[in-house]
């Protein structure tokens, strides 16, 4: 009979205690499925006495989580603390060097140090698994590294931050503005300690950089991800997009082009008839396009105790079965250093702005667009009171460089009130 696989869990927050509950509830089922007992040997957290909804008294305890990586009675370390540096990084490095496999839910750690950690895992013959770090309970890492491994991936895109999707869809459903719903998310505990990680697109950008590395065989390059949050999206944008048959999403897109690897996490308009446009609440969705399989859509809970702990256990069970795979699907030494590229393909753009209500103001904007090589598809000027006139313009296909040039020209017209909003209309 195989010896038990012994776990050390660092972090007993939402995800860590979720793993404890799964193992306490389904120990026999898991053993039947993998042919080996999986047991918790020791744990570490900030407080030993805190009430957590699960009994941890039978497990060993370490005040210092890094010590889990040094214990002889642990085979696999689960790093579920979070943080891109500090104890999380030290624990993963220590565990790999001491010959232990690692499972983590820490996308920030991997987005910033994934290349070095992948090389360290390879050098020590260990595996570092991270299904729970991207899109919660959705098995997107397994889809890319296993089920779709025979495809040349053309594009990966998706909604990867449930908080942003919750805010945007609640704006549409309730007619409440961004600030009201931001405060609601804070009360419900949906926001990170630093809210900009969510609403600024950083959390989702971390995830996109990891998917890019797997999909295109490249080194992780989070610094090359173009980031734009949802803070500038107004209720007017939500309503106007809906009137045109679109929904606004914080959309991640990664694709390899002739210029290099394009990675962007920005608000976009997508057709409301597409699964991405219909995605409600805190749900995540990842779309993978392969040359053989076509378009695959994966949808599910992107966060929470159960879904994320489920993803962690999937990785642990693979290790228990003896399934071993390089961190990003191929040896770290073979990952290419891709040149970063800005989006080159043209697309229609949604432009919303407020102009001074005086003769010739709109003509100046149209001239600025023409001088930037951009033609207008549709334009609406809305009824208003006072000296400011709201205007909506939808362009024909234009590059992001042309739009940037046009926005700079707008600033010099002297007719603009406040900052314009420019959103790409994504072809999905």
- Topology given in CATH for the domain delimited by 140-301+335-341: Dihydrodipicolinate Reductase; domain 2 (3.30.360)
**What residue ranges of the chain are covered by domains with CATH 3.30.70.260?**
349-425
Is 162 within 8 Å of 190 (Cβ atoms)? yes
pLDDT at 117 (0 to 100): 98
Where along the chain do the CATH 3.40.50.720 domains lie?
A: 5-133
* Options 207, 249, 364, 397, the catalytic residue: 207
Q: Supply the CATH classification number for the domain 349-425.
A: 3.30.70.260
Spatial contact of 203 and 183, defined as CB atoms under 8 Å apart? no
Alpha-carbon dihedral 285, 289, 295, 299, rounded to 10 degrees: -10
Cα–Cα distance between 405 and 374 in angstroms, integer? 10
The predicted pLDDT at position 320 comes to: 97
What kind of architecture, by CATH, is found in domain 5-133? 3-Layer(aba) Sandwich (3.40)
Query: CATH 3.30.360.10 in the chain, residues?
Result: 140-301+335-341
pLDDT of residue 342: 75
Query: 157 with 428: CB under 8 angstroms?
Result: yes
Cα gap 414→393, rounded to integer Å: 18
Burial-class residue 70 by CB neighbours within 10 Å (0-12, 13-18, 19+).
Answer: middle
* One-letter-per-residue 3-state SS of 108-132: HHHHHHHHHHHHHHHHCCCCEECHH
- H helix runs in 200-342, sequence order: 202-216, 235-243, 305-321
Q: Is 57 exposed, middle or buried (0-12, 13-18, 19+ CB in 10 A)?
A: exposed
In sequence order, what are the beta bridge partners of 350? 394, 423
207 catalytic? Reply is yes
The span from the first CA to the last CA of the chain, in angstroms, equals 51
Q: Are 47 and 117 in contact (CB under 8 A)?
A: no
Q: What is the dihedral of CA 207, 213, 219, 221, to 10 degrees?
A: -30
- Please give the Cα distance from 211 to 218 (Å, whole number): 10
Which mean pLDDT values do the consecutive 10-residue runs of the chain (428 residues) have? Answer: 91 95 97 96 93 93 97 98 95 98 97 98 98 94 96 97 94 92 86 87 97 98 96 92 94 94 96 95 95 96 90 97 96 94 83 91 94 93 77 93 94 92 93
Beta strands in 242-347 (DSSP E): 246-257, 260-271, 283-290, 294-301, 340-341
CB-based contact 62:88 (threshold 8 Å): no
Q: Which two tokens stand for residue 355?
A: 């102009």
pLDDT score of 344: 64
d(CA 116, CA 219): 10
pTM (global) more than 0.85: yes
Query: CA distances (Å), 384 to each of 106, 163, 365, 389, 422, in order?
Result: 49, 33, 19, 6, 21
pLDDT of residue 1: 55
């Amino acid at each position: 009979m195989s010896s038990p696989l012994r776990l050390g869990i660092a972090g007993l927050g939402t995800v860590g205690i979720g793993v404890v509950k799964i193992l306490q509830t389904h120990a026999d089922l898991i053993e039947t499925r993998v042919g080996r007992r999986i047991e918790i040997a020791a744990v570490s957290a900030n407080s030993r006495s805190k009430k957590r909804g699960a009994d941890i008294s039978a497990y060993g305890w370490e005040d210092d989580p890094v010590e889990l990586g040094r214990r002889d009675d642990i085979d696999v370390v689960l790093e579920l603390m979070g943080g891109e540096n500090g104890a999380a990084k030290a624990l993963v490095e220590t565990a790999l060097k001491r010959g232990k496999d690692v499972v983590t839910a820490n996308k920030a750690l991997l987005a910033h140090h994934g290349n070095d950690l992948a090389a360290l895992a390879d050098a020590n013959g260990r595996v570092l698994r991270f299904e729970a770090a991207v899109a919660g309970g959705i098995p997107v890492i397994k889809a890319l590294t296993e089920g779709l491994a025979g495809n040349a991936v053309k594009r990966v895109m998706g909604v990867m931050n449930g908080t942003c999707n919750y805010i945007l869809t609640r704006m549409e459903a309730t007619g409440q503005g961004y600030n009201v719903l931001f405060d609601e998310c804070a009360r419900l505990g949906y926001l990170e300690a630093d809210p900009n990680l969510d609403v600024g697109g950083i959390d989702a950008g971390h995830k996109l950089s990891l998917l890019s590395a797997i999909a295109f065989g490249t080194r992780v390059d989070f610094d090359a991800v173009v980031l734009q949050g949802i803070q500038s999206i107004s209720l007017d944008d939500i309503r106007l997009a809906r009137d045109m048959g679109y929904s606004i999403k914080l959309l991640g897109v990664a694709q390899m082009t002739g210029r290099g690897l394009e990675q962007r996490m920005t608000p976009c308009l997508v057709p409301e008839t597409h699964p991405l446009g219909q995605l409600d609440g805190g749900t995540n969705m990842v779309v993978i396009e392969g040359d053989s399989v076509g378009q695959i859509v994966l949808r599910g809970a992107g966060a929470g105790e159960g879904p994320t702990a489920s993803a962690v256990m999937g990785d642990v069970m693979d290790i228990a079965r003896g399934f071993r795979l390089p961190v990003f699907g191929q040896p770290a030494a073979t990952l290419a250093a891709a040149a970063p590229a800005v989006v080159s393909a043209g697309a229609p753009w949604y432009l919303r702005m407020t102009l001074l209500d005086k003769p010739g103001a709109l003509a100046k904007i149209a001239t600025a667009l023409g001088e930037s090589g951009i033609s207008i598809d549709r334009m609406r000027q809305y009824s208003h009171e006072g000296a400011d006139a709201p205007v909506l313009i939808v362009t024909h296909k234009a590059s992001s460089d042309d739009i940037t040039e046009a926005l700079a020209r707008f600033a010099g017209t002297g007719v603009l009130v406040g900052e314009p909003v420019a959103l790409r209309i994504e072809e999905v």
